Amino acid sequence: MKPTQASFPATRLRRTRRTPAIRALVAETALSPADLIWPVFVREGEGIEDPVPSMPGVVRRSVDRVVEAAREAADLGIPAICLFPYTEADKRTADCAEAWNPDNLSNRATRAIKQAVPEMAVMTDVALDPYSDTGHDGFVREGEIVNDETVAALVRQALAQAEAGVDIIGPSDMMDGRIGAIRAALEDAGHGDVLLLSYAAKYASAFYGPFRDAVGAAGALKGDKKTYQMDPANTDEALRCVGRDLAEGADMIMVKPGMPYLDICRRVKEAFAAPTFAYQVSGEYAMIQAAVQNGWLDRDRAMLESLMAFKRAGCDGILTYFAPAAARLMTGTR
Ligand code: PBG
């Protein structure tokens, strides 16, 4: 469709930019706290908020503090919180058994939030990297990340999370067939209402570095994740991943990282018209915060502009470490 347009001076495009009131009327995209999912890092202990140096402003919270964070998020109108555990070294093993321990950190935090702030949607991560001694998302056998054996373990992990009461399960592992396997197991176990938000188009990215510091996986990881995460050169393949995961029972899908992949967000939304999310990952957050700390960027403006870009690209929502700060700004609660 070609916009019809008279020529100058009948058309002066600056007319619709003249005042805040007029700009508000013609704004094509809106951003609100309801668009945000807040990723939070959970650690052992009580009363602890332990800063992550490569993510200025982000902390690892003990379960009691995660509950407080969930309450704060609910008060700001943020609908969902996403839990990432920082697992102690002695619980990272070759068999990754802590991943399906009903009392692991993630499951304890889920139960605590659902009890104290039941209206908050709790999302958890399915992948073995917080629990493995290799830092990989799957089991490693003779130097290879094995698919099918990993999927069986991911199913156990997902079932334990469903038992703990999560609303949304986010498989971030990029194994083949995991969405179908998890969906079938959830149905069998009477958890047919648990949503799957698939990390469907997840790229092997340099921008996850600070996250791996935050969950303590950076030191452990040997090699890279290129045999399961996607090649940044590809876009058709993203559509195949998304189509496959929707067909296997995903309710919502994610593109990750976010800002360097807005073209993928747009293509995915147009091709499938499914609930589409982007993850503004740790490295994207760190880049903005580093520039802010140097006095090179205005934090509030850079933050909101980066989040608006996802909505403009077609995303329904964004996972972002800026969630509470952005929501405070949007709601005028400082
Ligand atoms: C691991 C996982 C990663 C992130 C979310 N889940 C890192 C990775 O794949 O190595 C990254 C999030 C971020 O960088 O903010 N399954």
18 part of a folded domain: no
User: Quick one: which of 98, 96, 112, 100 has its CA closest to 160?
Assistant: 100
Q: Is 73 in contact with 120 (CB distance < 8 Å)?
A: yes
What confidence score (pLDDT) does residue 220 get?
77
Which positions are catalytic? Answer: 202, 256
21 part of a folded domain: no
Atom 6 of ligand 1 has which residue's CA nearest to it? 172
Ligand 1 contacts CB of residue 205 (under 6 A): no
How many Å apart are CA 37 and CA 15, to the nearest integer? 36
Q: Is 259 in contact with 305 (CB distance < 8 Å)?
A: no
20 part of a folded domain: no
Indicate whether this model's pTM tops 0.95: yes
What is the DSSP code string of 143-209? TEE-SHHHHHHHHHHHHHHHHHT-SEEEE-S--TTHHHHHHHHHHHTT-TT-EEEEEEEEB--GGGH
Ligand 1 contacts CB of residue 172 (under 6 A): yes
How many Å apart are CA 228 and CA 137, to the nearest integer? 9
Positions in the chain whose pLDDT score sits under 50:
none
What confidence score (pLDDT) does residue 5 get?
82
Residue with tokens 């919180």: 81
What confidence score (pLDDT) does residue 227 get?
97
| Number of folded domains that form the chain | 1
Q: Which domain holds residue 300?
A: 31-331
11 part of a folded domain: no
One-letter identity of residue 203: Y
308 part of a folded domain: yes
24 part of a folded domain: no
How many Å apart are CA 230 and CA 181, to the nearest integer? 21
- Any idea what the CATH number is for the domain that residue 159 is in? 3.20.20.70
Atom 14 of ligand 1 has which residue's CA nearest to it? 208
What confidence score (pLDDT) does residue 334 get?
66
202 part of a folded domain: yes
Atom of ligand 1 nearest to the CA of 221: 10
Q: How many C-beta atoms lie closer than 10 Å to residue 279's C-beta?
A: 26
Ligand 1 contacts CB of residue 211 (under 6 A): yes
85 part of a folded domain: yes
Atom of ligand 1 nearest to the CA of 283: 14
96, 126, 139, 208, best to mutate for ligand 1 pocket (most atoms within 8 Å of CB): 208
SS3 at position 83: strand
Ligand 1 contacts CB of residue 127 (under 6 A): yes
